[in-house]
Structures are given as C-alpha cells and as structure tokens.
Amino acid sequence: MLHTWFESKVRYEKTMENGKDKKVVEPYLVDALSFTEAEARTIEEVTPFISGEFSIMAIKRASYDETFLGDGDRFFKCRLAFITLDEKTAAEKKTKSNILVQADNLQEAKDKVVEQMKGTMADYTIEMVKETDIMDVYPYSAKEKEVSEK
C-alpha cells in the first residue's frame, strides 16, 4: 500500500520531569491523503494524550518511501542507495530511498533494515542512519475508517 506521510508539528504545554510546565513543539508522522486530512488525523490522534490546549504549528510532506514500524521508543531515518547497472552505458546508478525505522537505538535500527532487506535481490548500501525527533507515527488503518462510518 502506498502511503503519503505528513509531519505535523504540535505545540502544547508539557509537564516536565521537574514538575514545571514548558511550551514544546513535537513532530508526529501521519498517513493522510491531503494536508487537511493530516491536520484532522493529527488532532484526532494526539487529543487523548495532551491535556489542555494545543495547536498544529506546521504540516509538511515527509519523504519516507517505506516504514518499518514495530517495537522501540524512537524513530530513525535511514537512507539507502539501491545500486543498478545501466545496460547501455554499463555505469552504476544509485537510487536513494528514505526509510523510517522504529527501534530503541541506532544499531537496532540498522539491524532492522538489514533484516527487512534480506529477501530482496537488489544491491544496496546503507548511507545514513539518524535519529529523528518524531514522537509517534500514525499509519492509516482501514478499520478506523469503517468504525467512523457506522
């Protein structure tokens, strides 16, 4: 299934570990068809977790070609370069792909990419693995839609 990911930045007052309230802006990733739907889904998803007022500060398209979600409390952006051979010129061509991986640490994120890529015949290199600020990811779920339509 093809996903269109949007990164929504949510601003709200968060109670810190020291008990003081602080205004924060946190990014969330939502799967949506449009900016309008991304805003509505973000509001719907974060409302149960944020007490008090909050606002959507910004929404932008996120360039993730694939997501490997599962266990882990952090999200990592991994850039892969798929290597193909141009048959006419015999030159190597690299096609970049961004993948969002949910893991506990950098090494685990890299291991998950390697594990997910085991079945592919494509040659690739992992060019980058970097932790993101994303707080949570909300993929589209068909059952959500069915429940809301009843």
What is the rounded distance in angstroms from the CA atom of residue 31 to the CA atom of residue 37? Answer: 9
Statement to judge: residues 76 and 121 lie in one domain? yes
76 in any annotated domain: yes
148 in any annotated domain: no
* Confidence at 94, pLDDT banded by 50, 70, 90: very high
Left (φ > 0), alpha (ψ -120 to 50) or beta: where does 52 sit? left
139 in any annotated domain: no
85 in any annotated domain: yes
147 in any annotated domain: no
Q: Give the pLDDT confidence of 6-56 residue by residue, as tens digits.
A: 999 999 999 889 999 999 999 999 999 999 999 999 999 999 999 889 999
Nearest to 59 by CA among 81, 41, 74: 41
Nearest to 59 by CA among 38, 32, 33: 38
Statement to judge: residues 55 and 73 lie in one domain? no
Identify the domain containing residue 58 by its residue range. Answer: 5-62
Statement to judge: residues 125 and 70 lie in one domain? yes
pTM of the model: 0.85
Statement to judge: residues 9 and 38 lie in one domain? yes
- Report the domain count for the chain: 2
Residue 148 predicted with pLDDT over 70? no
Statement to judge: residues 15 and 55 lie in one domain? yes
150 in any annotated domain: no
Statement to judge: residues 75 and 116 lie in one domain? yes
Find out whether 10 and 25 touch, Cβ atoms under 8 Å: yes
Statement to judge: residues 70 and 34 lie in one domain? no
72 in any annotated domain: yes
Q: Please list, in sequence order, all residues whose beta carbon lies within 8 angstroms of the beta carbon of residue 26, skipping any fewer than 6 positions away.
A: 9, 10, 12, 133, 135
Statement to judge: residues 47 and 89 lie in one domain? no
44 in any annotated domain: yes
Q: Which residues pair with 89 in a beta bridge?
A: none
Statement to judge: residues 11 and 26 lie in one domain? yes
Left (φ > 0), alpha (ψ -120 to 50) or beta: where does 56 sit? beta
